Amino acid sequence: MGERIAATVIEADNAKRRPALDADYAALGERLARRGVDIEAIRQKVAAYGVAIPSWGVGTGGTRFARFPGPGEPRHIFDKLNDCAVIQALTRATPSVSLHIPWDKVDDLGELTDTASTLGLRFDAMNSNTFQDQPGQSHSYKFGSLSHSDSATRNQAIEHNLECIAIGKALGSTALTVWVGDGSNFPGQSHFTRSFERYLESMRAIYADLPDDWRVFTEHKIFEPAFYSTVVQDWGTNYLIAQELGPKAFCLVDLGHHAPTVNIEMIVARLVQFGKLGGFHFNDSRYGDDDLDTGAIDPYRLFLVFNELVDAETRGAKGFDPAHMLDQSHNVTDPIESLMTSAMEVQRAYAQALIVDRVALAAFQDDNDALMASETLKQAFRTDVEPILAKARLDAGGAIAPVPCYRAAGYRAKVAAERPQSTSLGGGIV
Amino acid sequence: MGERIAATVIEADNAKRRPALDADYAALGERLARRGVDIEAIRQKVAAYGVAIPSWGVGTGGTRFARFPGPGEPRHIFDKLNDCAVIQALTRATPSVSLHIPWDKVDDLGELTDTASTLGLRFDAMNSNTFQDQPGQSHSYKFGSLSHSDSATRNQAIEHNLECIAIGKALGSTALTVWVGDGSNFPGQSHFTRSFERYLESMRAIYADLPDDWRVFTEHKIFEPAFYSTVVQDWGTNYLIAQELGPKAFCLVDLGHHAPTVNIEMIVARLVQFGKLGGFHFNDSRYGDDDLDTGAIDPYRLFLVFNELVDAETRGAKGFDPAHMLDQSHNVTDPIESLMTSAMEVQRAYAQALIVDRVALAAFQDDNDALMASETLKQAFRTDVEPILAKARLDAGGAIAPVPCYRAAGYRAKVAAERPQSTSLGGGIV
Amino acid sequence: MGERIAATVIEADNAKRRPALDADYAALGERLARRGVDIEAIRQKVAAYGVAIPSWGVGTGGTRFARFPGPGEPRHIFDKLNDCAVIQALTRATPSVSLHIPWDKVDDLGELTDTASTLGLRFDAMNSNTFQDQPGQSHSYKFGSLSHSDSATRNQAIEHNLECIAIGKALGSTALTVWVGDGSNFPGQSHFTRSFERYLESMRAIYADLPDDWRVFTEHKIFEPAFYSTVVQDWGTNYLIAQELGPKAFCLVDLGHHAPTVNIEMIVARLVQFGKLGGFHFNDSRYGDDDLDTGAIDPYRLFLVFNELVDAETRGAKGFDPAHMLDQSHNVTDPIESLMTSAMEVQRAYAQALIVDRVALAAFQDDNDALMASETLKQAFRTDVEPILAKARLDAGGAIAPVPCYRAAGYRAKVAAERPQSTSLGGGIV
Amino acid sequence: MGERIAATVIEADNAKRRPALDADYAALGERLARRGVDIEAIRQKVAAYGVAIPSWGVGTGGTRFARFPGPGEPRHIFDKLNDCAVIQALTRATPSVSLHIPWDKVDDLGELTDTASTLGLRFDAMNSNTFQDQPGQSHSYKFGSLSHSDSATRNQAIEHNLECIAIGKALGSTALTVWVGDGSNFPGQSHFTRSFERYLESMRAIYADLPDDWRVFTEHKIFEPAFYSTVVQDWGTNYLIAQELGPKAFCLVDLGHHAPTVNIEMIVARLVQFGKLGGFHFNDSRYGDDDLDTGAIDPYRLFLVFNELVDAETRGAKGFDPAHMLDQSHNVTDPIESLMTSAMEVQRAYAQALIVDRVALAAFQDDNDALMASETLKQAFRTDVEPILAKARLDAGGAIAPVPCYRAAGYRAKVAAERPQSTSLGGGIV
């Protein structure tokens, strides 16, 4: 495989941008110093931050109506890892990859770990798939998987999750993420309680197989692919699952899986308070699980989520250790560009949350000075922390401006020449 | 006080309607018999059903923009009880009244119990009020009550709830309903976790004072009067409260307190499953806490809620004993008419849920026959059970057609002559 | 092809059900007569009512995550027509089929008209497809079609619509339905005004080619497949399109294409008032364009839509002539069963709306008697009109109970034996 | 009345902050210069920008549940003007006040104009009120005003609007804003079409009285105070009104009056395109018409609205001349502080929109480079333009930091000493 973005390209691009960055960083440093914030401390925290890339994210997504492939789409997990390595090379913010089974299944797991190691990547949480049927599968998931009314189907789904754990163990992963499409499209189709009891029973079997140092993350979602009810519809049910399963079970929050108008940052706070926040699938949305690029639609909401996270970190909330992953569908952009931009958006929100004056904020909260409390958050959010992010990337060997640098490097054209054009148009499912 | 709807008026009105009712009841009985349903058994269950009236419901409601008073509005709890007695006289479905303190506070509790007893009414759950300031109150609830950052304010709110319990004990009530307006209008205004910890601490103090045979119901609400966050925003938080407090604490579900598109019947099922369903505030809504007449907007949703309740009743779900109350704001109707109609809507949904073929439904669910499962519910919902309701009223001494009978009796005109026209135009708060 | 549901099967099934139907019809007739409604008049109107079936509706649908094929899926338009003929044979409510180009494209249009004619089916509106790329297509619709920034792509999309008109002319269709997936996933991606100007320009070219006796229906949709903005996002924009194009242009209302909480029946009323209601795509939904079976989620909403339609019909609203079509995605049911059930739901809502006492309603509206106005609608909605529908089917040669009769006839097993099992699992697009 | 914030207080506060501002302004100037943006040109545009204050905004708002008065609330329009003058003195961004009749009605209009003139304030659009009853009013608006079924009530509402025009003429206003609460709480309560026809007829009568140089703005709102339907429910209906009335009629967009998830900036673009954008009521919201401080919840949405406005301004969209006003309910803050902060938020969004690189953006749009188009907007939004705003205020005699300066000046304490504490607790309307 080898190096796909030449270090010389990065260096040349950085060289052009360096003087402006230095000036901006210095000006921002002065400004932050006036507020009592040490820019270097922030930079170090930002530099240490990483968000995982889902292996499926580097392919072009689509909708039930259609998929419009892009050039040079990855053919298999090795191509995907290569694309992920490019993202990491330029952003230095994405050190790990989250695999999806069976999409990323290979015969030789040693080859997989070797490749990742060569590319400087680690493996994040394993993702199981019981929302699709695979060719030749014994039992269909058309009417559910872990909550299916038929025990053979449930057992097949359990076995699949156990296989994901086994693969993950070989790869050095320490977490399993379980998202199911189980639910119903008609009132009456499912018995809510019996379905959930079956789900819990299946999850207990999976949990029993979980290694001691692993965690299991369950994910809730209000709708899609089921359109009347879902078995794990919201954080309330998700919390009950984590509580029923035990101390290694935690709740995953995908930013697009909630009802309209729901206050997501408050859900984050509740899960932190009760010791069950497992982590995030970051993306952005306006209507449903739109899976748009993180921060593209409502960047302040993303900041408010990170405000909770930094608050929990700062006060040392018990058991606080959330996993961070992007989970997006890139339908109209180059996935590598979207993932780089999104990783930087997550970092940006983190940096902005780090410069919130928490002492002042707490005082305004105690005094019920709503306006100044709000302004305290807004001041941090309004701060353009891009120089901090850019400096962190530069120091780590990445690009000051990842997207222009990536374009300059011509990576997409190179892989398009190597990888056959995808003809999978998908969709037509209206 | 005395009888306000003359029995002769009811009898005369019923006499006119009796032949048609008999014919319809017989035809329905035949039809149900074909499905294996005994109409008499359904009628008996319906006859035994009751829903509580909130004392404030008999007054005309309003919005922040305005209130448009109606004629003959009740001046105090005694007028309100009289109005409630009319509702019960005609519908025989509303045997109890839920009081609100301080709105219904009186010097002589004995007079209150005597009056209720004379009118054939019981007292349902007590409702505390810490979402408003009362003239002369030491500490304002502008920035919260049970979760306020100031302990003196919290203590005042706790004391008020203890007073409600004390009054309730004297009146024969056995439940306290706690709804607070606490929340925030700006990101940052409140610290989610510290606010909730203070709320829990306050509730524990109230819980500690709860008599052994009492229950406490907490109510969640996504927004209004707070518009960024509320302390008890959804059933997930509500469940955590009930779990933290103990076995006498339960969750109340108001049908209008959820995010758009949320599946309420599923929340009901979850709370039943985990033993924490306290009861309901029935109403209907499309946009928010619209507090419209029950079943006026989406009668099928109401039926689906009752489908869960009858299912739980049928299978003897452990600890299942929910309280039923109407909670509506009557802005453009005669409140007595709306409450009678709504009580009948609740009964109707109950009756429809009772005739669901649950054996067939369970089989369709096990077979994943989604269409027939849906049709099984729809068949019950489509059944016009009005003859059953009317017969149950008639047998109990009520009116076959409560609204026309009420209008014929001229009650509103009578009380309008006795009670001065309200001049409280409210609103102007935009 | 020939007859796929033997008349003898229908007759045998009907014979069993006839006595109960006669009894129920008589009882309902009496009940309606008491209200001054002539059941025969209602039955005749219901019998004359028809709703079109979309050709794609008889196949199993799916989501971006997966498709779970059913047995005996139609392979091509001839299989689809056969399935549609079964629906019509049993329900007598679906006399026409709406084609989709290129999915239903054939070499020999004469064979198509002959087949339809033999099966007793007509062709409804033609549907164009510019939301997908077809293999070998010159220009991609990834970034739009009729509103694309590139004129060659727009022209290709225009040409495709002209081809749809040409095919439709040969088939006896008199309408073109245009739905585009054009929109954007990011703020800034599209210039709202320039995109819409290009869309209008393209539509004007299509409109110019429309035969004199044709109508063009444009369809709005708030989101999906675009998740930030769509070019025709709501009825306001849709109305502007119809107004800009001219007298043959009308707005199509799909029940699932609106923002949450939007009052759809009011949109229907406005479009009727301003002479631009083209017709409907019926389905049901809770979250988005869920495409569930019509009336499965909120049957009262469906009734309220028909209440507007019957009101317009009754008062002879100028130019009122809407087209009626089902448009659903059947992911977990036999599509034929869902379409039969949905066609009956639409008929049911129509029948219920027909028995609304409109004279009384108008008087209550003029008197601001909100409660009685509401009850007037509810009384009609609560009436179980199934006997009217069943009688209309029976009289026309259809089945009293289409779904049980269909199951008894074994049609699905028969076609499953003839048509190879679909292996198109779709999805995997997350 | 006289000067309420001493110039010396402002000067002293500014003096402290001047050096930091100069440094920040210079650094920002350099940064913008690198992007080809002249900071001085931006500052001049920002300095020329003004947003109107609604007279009712300086009082404390509330909800139907309660109102919690603040200290020193204005007693009448003269107090309100004084408060508005403070806002203008410190922000230099709010040169005009929008009056509400009858709340601001006075006997001597000359005194009003003199006072405003002395305070350096102008009068913006006049607001009529037919959503409340006033003591002694002949006809109630309980069931509507301009669309009421009774012509006497409609005429009363028309007359009231004519009176507003007459008062406005005397005060130098040139616009009338009409918002009505008309609608319904029950399906069936209102006949959609007849109600809207009556509304249009009433508006035509008002329009006929409009002076030649006036404009009339109509405002749509999806819900509240009516909870099933509103007569002017969305921009589609609003557009039809403006079109029916004529060239002096325009649509007003309140940011909180839309269904959840609706794309407001797109509505703005459509109204600009069709020449009917009248102006704005700025505020922020998450759930409904929450009337929170502008930009407090979703600042990026506010920016996207201004992006459309600057785009229209830049390309000289025909007839583009929108009115800008704040319209908020301040329940938990000092209204003066909220209005100052909100005026600055509006300015901020304007400044950020001004620095969008529109040439680059247009090129990205034409090339379908979605990611770079998004980043072009985000880069402008991320820019902290506070130094530009502060410099514009400073140059015009205002405060660099209005809120701290206002607090330092002790204005609220001064007026609290003069104005009796409000005892209007409102609410209790549940």
Beta carbons of B332 and D56 less than 8 Å apart: no
D329 vs D296: CA distance, rounded Å: 13
Tens-place pLDDT, residues C257-300? 999 999 999 999 999 999 999 999 999 999 999 999 999 999 99
Percent of chain D with pLDDT over 70: 98
Report which of A407, B112, C311 is spatially closest to residue D193, judged by C-alpha positions.
C311
Contact D371, A334 (CB under 8 A): yes
C20 vs C397: CA distance, rounded Å: 18
D261 → closest Cβ in A31, A287, A368: A287
* Cβ neighbours, 10 Å, residue A120: 11
For B28, the token pair is: 């329905």
Task: Tell me the pLDDT band of B168, cut-offs 50, 70 and 90.
Answer: very high
Tell me the C-alpha to C-alpha distance, in Å, between residue A20 and each of A16, D32, D376: 9, 11, 18
A76 vs A103: CA distance, rounded Å: 8
Contact B250, B215 (CB under 8 A): yes
Measured in whole angstroms, the distance separating CA C154 from the mean position of its chain's CA atoms is: 27
Residue A127's beta-bridge partner residues? A100, A177
For chain D, give the number of residues: 430
SS3 for C369? coil
Please state whether the predicted TM-score (pTM) of the whole model is above 0.95: yes
Q: Cβ contacts (< 8 Å) between A422 and chain C: which residues? A: none
Question: Does the N-terminal peptide bond of residue B225 adopt cis geometry, omega within 30 degrees of 0?
Answer: yes
Report which of B70, B83, B104, B105 is spatially closest to residue B423, judged by C-alpha positions.
B70
Beta carbons of C381 and B296 less than 8 Å apart: no
ipTM for the whole predicted complex goes beyond 0.85: yes
Give the pLDDT of residue D182: 98
Section C85-105 average pLDDT: 97
Task: Tell me the pLDDT band of C427, cut-offs 50, 70 and 90.
Answer: low
B142 vs B139: CA distance, rounded Å: 9
Residue D54's beta-bridge partner residues? D98
Give the pLDDT of residue C4: 80
CA atoms within 13 A on the CB side of B53: 36
Among B28, B300, B344, the strongest candidate for a mutation testing the C interface, having the largest count of C CBs within 10 A, is B300
Q: Give B280's DSSP letter.
A: E
Residue A277's beta-bridge partner residues? A251
Positive/negative CA dihedral, C261, C67, C136, A290:
positive
The verdict on A365 touching D (C-beta cutoff 8 Å) is no
End-to-end CA distance of chain C: 40
Strand positions, DSSP E, C262-382: 277-282, 323-326
Q: Give B423's DSSP letter.
A: -
CA distance A359 to chain B (A): 12
The verdict on A320 touching C (C-beta cutoff 8 Å) is no
The verdict on A187 touching B (C-beta cutoff 8 Å) is yes
B101-121 in b/e form (b: 16+ CB < 10 A) is bebbbeeeeeebbebbeebeb
Q: Cβ contacts (< 8 Å) between B374 and chain C: which residues? A: 293, 296
Beta carbons of B287 and D288 less than 8 Å apart: yes
* Cβ neighbours, 10 Å, residue A100: 21
Give the pLDDT of residue A1: 40
Tens-place pLDDT, residues B286-324? 999 999 999 999 999 999 999 999 999 999 999 999 999
The verdict on B417 touching D (C-beta cutoff 8 Å) is no
Contact A264, A226 (CB under 8 A): no
The verdict on A415 touching C (C-beta cutoff 8 Å) is no
C14 vs C12: CA distance, rounded Å: 5
Contact D387, D28 (CB under 8 A): yes
Contact A379, A367 (CB under 8 A): no
Residue C131's beta-bridge partner residues? none
The verdict on B425 touching D (C-beta cutoff 8 Å) is yes
Beta carbons of C287 and A288 less than 8 Å apart: yes
Contact B67, B426 (CB under 8 A): yes
Contact C327, C338 (CB under 8 A): no
Give the pLDDT of residue C2: 44
Report which of B190, B67, B217 is spatially closest to residue B128, judged by C-alpha positions.
B217
CA distance A199 to chain D (A): 32
Q: What residue segments make up the domains of chain C, in order of their start? A: 7-418
For B280, the token pair is: 């309901």
Give the pLDDT of residue C424: 83
Measured in whole angstroms, the distance separating CA B18 from the mean position of its chain's CA atoms is: 30
Report which of A82, A139, A131 is spatially closest to residue A103, judged by C-alpha positions.
A131
Beta carbons of D185 and B425 less than 8 Å apart: no
A239 vs C9: CA distance, rounded Å: 53
Task: Tell me the pLDDT band of D48, cut-offs 50, 70 and 90.
Answer: very high
CA distance C12 to chain B (A): 19
Task: Tell me the pLDDT band of B3, cut-offs 50, 70 and 90.
Answer: low
C380 vs C45: CA distance, rounded Å: 16
Q: Is D36 exposed, middle or buried (0-12, 13-18, 19+ CB in 10 A)?
A: exposed
Q: Which residues of chain A have pLDDT under 70?
A: 1-3, 427-430
- Chains with at least 3 CB pairs less than 8 angstroms from chain C: A, B, D
Residue B100's beta-bridge partner residues? B127
Enumerate residues 6+ apart whose C-beta is below 8 A from A296: A284, A345, C185, C186, C187, C228, D374, D378
Measured in whole angstroms, the distance separating CA C348 from the mean position of its chain's CA atoms is: 15
Beta carbons of D184 and C142 less than 8 Å apart: no
Q: Cβ contacts (< 8 Å) between A290 and chain C: which residues? A: 185, 223, 227-228
Q: What is the biggest distance separating any 2 CA atoms in chain C, rounded to whole angstroms? A: 66
Q: Is the pLDDT of residue C1 over 50?
A: no
Tens-place pLDDT, residues D276-332? 999 999 999 999 999 999 999 999 999 999 999 999 999 999 999 999 999 999 999
Give the pLDDT of residue B427: 65
The CA-based dihedral angle spanning residues D165, D166, D172, D175, taken in that order and rounded to the nearest 10 degrees: 10
Q: Give C57's DSSP letter.
A: G
Q: Give C217's DSSP letter.
A: E
Residue of A nearest to D285 (CA): A261
Rg for chain D, CA atoms, rounded: 22
D409 vs D422: CA distance, rounded Å: 23
Beta carbons of D287 and A334 less than 8 Å apart: no
Tens-place pLDDT, residues B243-278? 999 999 999 999 999 999 999 999 999 999 999 999
The verdict on D314 touching C (C-beta cutoff 8 Å) is no
The verdict on C141 touching D (C-beta cutoff 8 Å) is no
CA distance C286 to chain B (A): 6
Q: Cβ contacts (< 8 Å) between C222 and chain D: which residues? A: 261-262
Please, which residues 375-394 of chain C have a Cβ atom closer than 8 Å to chain D?
376-377
* Cβ neighbours, 10 Å, residue C160: 20
| B393-407, D13-27, D414-428: least confidently modelled range | D414-428
The verdict on B287 touching C (C-beta cutoff 8 Å) is yes
Section D55-68 average pLDDT: 96
SS3 for B90? helix
B357-379 in b/e form (b: 16+ CB < 10 A) is bbebbbebbeebbbbbbbbbbbb
The verdict on C103 touching A (C-beta cutoff 8 Å) is yes
CATH match for D7-418 among 1.10.10.10, 3.40.1160.10, 3.20.20.150, 3.40.50.2000? 3.20.20.150
